[in-house]
Amino acid sequence: PLATADLFRRIVERTPARRDQDHPRIIIYNNPKIPDRTAFILGNGPDPRPELIASAKKLESWGADFIIMP
The alpha carbon of residue 13 and the mean position of all alpha carbons in its chain are separated, in whole angstroms, by 18
Average pLDDT of the chain is 96
Residue-level pLDDT at 38: 96
Domain range list for the chain: 24-69
Residue type for position 44: N
Chain segment 9-27, per-residue pLDDT in tens: 999 999 999 999 999 999 9
Residue-level pLDDT at 50: 97
Residue-level pLDDT at 2: 95
Query: Which among 31, 33, 29, 34 is positioned nearest to 59, based on CA atoms?
Result: 29
Residues of the chain above pLDDT 70, percent:
100
Running DSSP on this structure, what letter comes out for residue 52? H
Chain segment 45-57, per-residue pLDDT in tens: 999 999 999 999 9
Q: Which helix (H) or strand (E) holds 16?
A: none
